[in-house]
Amino acid sequence: MGKKKRKHYYREKLPSRPCPLENAGLEKVDFKDVELLKQFVTEKGKIIPRRISGLSARSQKKLTRAIKQARNIALLSFSAGYISPEEVQD
């Protein structure tokens, strides 16, 4: 008895979504632009994944690196997302 050949079902490729950062004309994601970075961080301080944010792989890597730099310089909190300047002075 020979093996049965399996039928291969290919799903159609979905049209790719445009990257929001590239549509806005941002080539470089700056770690000092906290207002932009906090849009991609949850309330608990986690970075929003690429499949939800709709970013391209290249933009997601740039964004992740910028968020990590901002955290190390204390522009962003590791746990709470965004620290406003008013909260720092208190």
Instruction: Using the predicted structure, report yes or no on whether residue 14 has a pLDDT greater than 80.
Output: no
pTM: 0.73
CATH fold of the domain at 20-82: 30s Ribosomal Protein S18 (4.10.640)
The b/e string for 15-50 (b: 16+ C-beta within 10 A; e otherwise) is eeeebebeeeebeebebeebebbbebbeeeeebbeb
Residue 18 confidence class, pLDDT cut points 50, 70, 90: confident
Instruction: Using the predicted structure, report yes or no on whether residue 81 has a pLDDT greater than 90.
Output: no
Q: For the chain, what are the domain ranges?
A: 20-82
Q: How far apart are CA 60 and CA 84, in angstroms?
A: 24
Average pLDDT, the chain: 85
Instruction: Using the predicted structure, report yes or no on whether residue 90 has a pLDDT greater than 80.
Output: no
pLDDT digits 0-9 by tens, 34-64: 999 999 999 888 999 999 999 999 999 999 9
